[in-house]
């Protein structure tokens, strides 16, 4: 008997524990779940027919009950400046998201999206421009990692950053399930410390993450040290002002013993002057934290520019003088619009999409 398509489960939406439980309910021995997980996550096989250590009957049964819902690669663009590769992925409902594979200094990092579009409308970010469409499921998050792994020469990844399209904390449940699956030894086995969650500063979810007992890295997009500056480019600051955000970060650090990275996009004439640097130094002085300065990557909707190199150095020096660990990150993949703030997703096939139809994305 064939089952209706609505009853067919995407196996990638189940954590290893959930898959084992499901198999038991279906009368399939639980060690079979480990075999299936091994095919998908270790060997990158997304077709039950090719799982040759399963009996023909079991393969047939799995095909009737499950799909392995890997998105379709619609486009692949490789950077001429560095080795970054941007994948445009078509989801099962026809929406698109972008994922970036970034090999750098011995690391092989994948930057994943957590939503189609974003509600938060940060001025400098392509994701916030055209609004929000929907959350991604755990399977849609995990499969971005699987597809990016296939891009790497040795089929291995070292780091995962949730800095693609969407606000990860706005999709908290699926985010956490994806993190736990990616971290599981039965799936990709990526160490929690190699997974970075980046947020625009959703205070209740920073508090919630502090209670999860996870060793993940937390990165907070600050981009302004006062409410006036931050609010001018990040509307989320109205809900969670700087003082509240920083005191929550301090509590998170105290609770977890883990440092926070503050991301700070330097935009000339907005937040990149010496006074801005001094305000930032005062705000963060004494905290267990690091600041990542990112010269602004232009998008057409926000016609500003990065400060000059000497201005960037001066900004960094002011923070360092306050003993704040500070690095300057020149984004990878700028020539393929894959740098921080430049990612886009589209709601129909890119060949049919006009620029105005695009939902822009970043992290």
Tell me which residues touch ligand SF4 (CB under 6 A): 118, 120-122, 125, 127-128, 166-167, 200, 221, 361-363
Q: Which is nearer to ligand SF4, 210 or 361 (CB)?
A: 361
Q: Which is nearer to ligand SF4, 221 or 226 (CB)?
A: 221
Does residue 98 carry a catalytic annotation?
A: yes
> C-beta of 199: minimal distance to ligand SF4 in Å?
8
> C-beta of 342: minimal distance to ligand SF4 in Å?
10
> C-beta of 321: minimal distance to ligand SF4 in Å?
28
> C-beta of 320: minimal distance to ligand SF4 in Å?
26
Q: Which is nearer to ligand SF4, 166 or 295 (CB)?
A: 166
Record the tokens describing residue 12, joined without a space. 């990638």
> C-beta of 341: minimal distance to ligand SF4 in Å?
7
> C-beta of 165: minimal distance to ligand SF4 in Å?
6
Supply φ then ψ for residue 83, to 5 degrees. -95, 10
Q: What do you get for the CA distance between the two ends of the chain, in Å?
A: 45
Does residue 111 carry a catalytic annotation?
A: no
Q: Which is nearer to ligand SF4, 23 or 296 (CB)?
A: 296
Q: Which is nearer to ligand SF4, 91 or 118 (CB)?
A: 118
Q: Which of 98, 140, 263, 360 is catalytic?
A: 98
Q: Which is nearer to ligand SF4, 75 or 301 (CB)?
A: 301
Token look-up 């020469």 returns 153
Q: Which of 301, 340, 351, 360 is catalytic?
A: 340
Q: Which is nearer to ligand SF4, 69 or 363 (CB)?
A: 363
The three-state (H, E, C) secondary structure of the chain, written as one string:
CCCCHHHCEEHHHCCHHHHHHHHHHCCCCHHHHHHHHHHHHHCCCCCHHHCCCCCHHHHHHHHHHEECCCCEEEEEEECCCCCCEEEEEECCCCCEEEEEEEEECCEEEEECCCEEECCCCCCCCHHHCCCEEEECCHHHHHHHHHHHHHHCCCCCCCEEEECCCCCHHHHHHHHHHHHHHHHCCCCCCCCHHHEEEEECCCHHHHHHHHCCCCCCEEEEECCCCCHHHHHHHCCHHHHCCHHHHHHHHHHHHHHHCCCEEEEEEECCCCCCCHHHHHHHHHHHCCCCEEEEEEECCCECCECCCCCCHHHHHHHHHHHHHCCCEEEECCCCCHHHCCCCCCCEECCCCCCCCCHHHCEECCC
Helices 274-284, 309-321: axis angle to 10 degrees equals 30
Helices 242-256, 203-210: axis angle to 10 degrees equals 10
> C-beta of 197: minimal distance to ligand SF4 in Å?
12
Q: Encode 275-285: b = buried (16+ Cβ within 10 Å), e = exposed.
A: ebbbbbbebbe
Q: Tell me how far apart the alpha carbons of residues 233 and 231 are, in angstroms, rounded to a whole number.
A: 5
The set of catalytic residues is 98, 340
């Amino acid at each position: 008997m064939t089952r209706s398509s609505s009853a067919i489960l995407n196996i990638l939406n189940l954590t290893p524990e959930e898959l084992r439980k499901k198999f038991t309910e279906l009368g399939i021995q639980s060690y079979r779940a480990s075999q299936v997980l091994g095919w998908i996550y270790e060997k990158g096989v997304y077709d039950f027919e090719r799982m040759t250590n399963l009996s023909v009957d079991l393969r047939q049964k799995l095909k009737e009950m499950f799909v392995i819902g890997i998105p379709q690669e619609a486009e692949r663009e490789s950077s001429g400046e560095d080795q970054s590769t941007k994948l445009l992925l078509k989801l099962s409902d026809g929406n698109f998201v972008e994922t970036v594979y970034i090999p750098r200094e011995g690391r092989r990092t994948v930057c994943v999206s957590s939503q189609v579009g974003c509600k938060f409308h940060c001025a400098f970010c392509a994701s916030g421009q055209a609004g929000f469409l929907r959350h991604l499921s755990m399977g849609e998050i995990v499969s971005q990692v699987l597809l990016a792994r296939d891009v790497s020469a040795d089929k291995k990844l070292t780091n995962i950053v949730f800095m693609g399209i969407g606000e990860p904390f706005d999709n908290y449940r699926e985010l956490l399930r994806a993190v736990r699956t990616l971290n599981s030894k039965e799936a990709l086995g990526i160490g929690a410390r190699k997974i970075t969650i980046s947020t625009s500063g959703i205070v209740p979810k920073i508090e919630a993450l502090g209670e999860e007992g996870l060793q993940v890295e937390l990165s907070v997009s600050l981009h302004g040290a006062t409410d006036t500056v931050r609010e001018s480019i990040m509307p989320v600051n109205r809900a969670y002002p700087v003082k509240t955000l920083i005191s929550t970060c301090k509590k998170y650090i105290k609770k977890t013993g883990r440092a926070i990275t503050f991301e700070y996009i330097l935009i000339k004439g907005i937040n990149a002057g010496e006074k801005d640097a001094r305000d930032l130094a005062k705000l963060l002085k004494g905290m267990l934290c690091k600041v990542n300065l990112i010269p602004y990557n232009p998008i057409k909707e926000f016609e500003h520019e990065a400060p000059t190199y000497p201005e960037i150095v001066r900004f960094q020096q002011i923070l360092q003088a306050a003993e704040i660990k500070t690095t300057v990150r020149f984004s990878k993949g700028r020539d393929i619009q894959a740098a921080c703030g430049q990612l886009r997703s589209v709601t129909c096939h890119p060949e049919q999409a006009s620029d105005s139809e695009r939902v822009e994305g970043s992290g």
